[in-house]
Chains A and B, each alone.
Chain A
């Protein structure tokens, strides 16, 4: 009966070896500070190559919003600063040195909304937030219509946010209370069905709990936002991971932003799976060096569904996927290619699988057809503005689209931003 009670969605299965139950704390010897995936950041470097920086110290700030800083995830020496034309950040590489120290921020006894916002920006917390529509981190003065705290993650092999919050309940509540002061609207907390809901005081703001089942994409932020509080061109909605909320609470208590997060390493390219506590920008090669299976493999920051090949762990990623590298296949005979491949997009056939892969909360077939046809207005009507690539990753996988649907979502969001956004 569990099958019928667990609600909409699918449980995709991917091969991965048995996981070691020990959780190790790992700070990699090298770390990379990068912009969030798909976002070009024009930055001003605040450090020089060869300079020693503390953990949590600002290494760069945005040119148009100097308060928003990118910080060093490890104490160490700046090895290289790579900027693209237009001073767009490519990466800042750090070599770890333990004598770098930890950067601390002054905390007032009672923090107002503006002060908290400035603290979050200068402490390097801002890239952990993500806005919808269009994705990326919010603008410095943006006031969200609602904030979604994701205490559940249903992606395959995702680490359990509840495990990450063990022993940090007080910090989580402190961080949650702080979020009221940066929004005028409600704060939604997505929580696993059947798990104990912490007794958070709700007198300060509008706190609402949403329970989610175990199937993907029920724990996907976009699906939950679409269902409970859709984002619009004039109503931005932020989402943040529950572990980051606990980090915010700890920042407000101690003045230092914790940088470690629970990370799970899985995939068919491993000898054994592993969970570690590490920092954003961690060196994926070092993390997987001892557990990768022999032979060529691909390191992806993110899950099997939405991960991308990368050298450094992404800002919001809590999964690393290691897959064996496919050998280049010989080109098939022209007749076989004509029978099986096509340059045009493959048509999508409506099935129950497609509906479930989008959580059965939006009209999947008209939505996918609107994406394929480039019908911006219909796609917006059907809920595109609440979604990002990762929310349709399961549909992309289920339909065997090879990333085509995620690309269509990104292309359409970019077009809407140019043509419709105020």
Chain B
């Protein structure tokens, strides 16, 4: 029998491909240190994927590369190897693997890991992103939308509201840069973002609204920390938005046709 290409691993590969502009710029600016950080994160994730393959017969996924990239880019600097390993282990195991692997998780493992770092090691300094790196998030998002592995409505709504807020001077540039990078790396994850059009618009709007709220009311928080917190809460709200969208759709169909 003939088979199509849009399997889980194809989507993981294409997601990585769409994030390549961001990854290349980050490695170019960060050099060997950035590369070794990505490699170490990937090693820890790969070990846990291997453990779950042997113990639970769960096939590993290439999405580990995307998760490792997001963690390596956004995690606090100057964390020791043990702290890094602990955070990655918590995020990957509790955020993804115990649910059955990529495709069945509720929250992105990278988001869980980064939130763990934020709560567990608040003294660790968060990275600062320069403008060129933040600009690279735009082609990454566009590629993801064109290939179809990133939710277009979510990206467009969040980016539009972010641009509006920046135009009105409501958010500073560092927050905007971190928010843009977190948007394509964490919020636009195809599995954990909303799957309905209305849900995606609402999730994008919530991400932008939370970002504005945290940027104005969370004193002392670093820009990546703000972006990660907004990403975590908006991802947790995604199933609720989907449920609202489906309920409205079913209600409309019942009113129009008398059945669904």
Interface residue from B11, B59, B242, B245 paired with A349 (Cβ < 8 Å): B11
Interface residues of A, dominant DSSP: loop
> Are A349 and B260 in touch, CB under 8 angstroms?
no
Q: CB-CB < 8 A to A341: which residues of B?
A: 59
Q: Assess whether B59 is in contact with A338, with CB atoms less than 8 Å apart.
A: yes
Is B58 close to A, CB under 8 A?
A: yes
Neighbouring A residues of B170 by C-beta, 8 Å = none
Q: Which residues of B contact A232 (CB under 8 A)?
A: 258-260
Residues in A neighbouring B10, C-beta threshold 8 A: 400
Chain B residue nearest in CB terms to A383: B260
Cα of A61 to Cα of B58 in the assembled complex, Å: 51
CB distance from A389 to the nearest CB of B (A): 14
Q: Is the CB of A350 within 8 A of B190?
A: yes
B174 within 8 A of A: no
Complex-state Cα separation, A85 to B3, whole angstroms: 36
The reply to whether A346 and B195 form a contact with Cβ atoms under 8 Å apart is: no
A304 lies within 8 A of chain B by Cβ: yes
B203 interface residue (CB < 8 Å to A): no
Q: When the two chains form their complex, are residues B103 and A351 in contact, meaning their CB atoms are under 8 A apart?
A: no
Given A338-B57, A351-B149, A229:B257 Cβ within 8 A: yes
Nearest-Cβ distance from residue A355 to partner chain B, whole angstroms:
8
Determine whether A340 belongs to the interface, using a CB cutoff of 8 Å to chain B: yes
Whether B4 lies near A12 (C-beta < 8 A) is: yes
In this assembly, does A380 line the interface, its C-beta being within 8 Å of a C-beta of chain B? yes
B7 interfacial contact with A, CB 8 Å = yes
- For the complex, is A108 an interface residue (Cβ under 8 Å from B)? no
CB–CB B259/A399 < 8 A: no
Cβ contact of B196, chosen from A235, A323, A363, A398, cutoff 8 A: A363
Segment with Cβ contacts to A, from B30-38, B115-123, B246-254: B246-254
Q: CB-nearest residue of chain B relative to A394?
A: B4
Judge if A354 is at the interface, Cβ distance under 8 Å. yes
Within 8 A of A (CB), among B108-152: 147-149, 151-152
Known A-B contacts: A230-B253, A349-B12, A353-B4. Give 20 more (CB < 8 A).
A229-B257, A230-B259, A235-B258, A338-B53, A338-B54, A338-B57, A339-B53, A343-B57, A347-B8, A347-B191, A349-B102, A349-B103, A349-B190, A351-B148, A352-B147, A366-B195, A398-B4, A399-B6, A401-B3, A402-B3
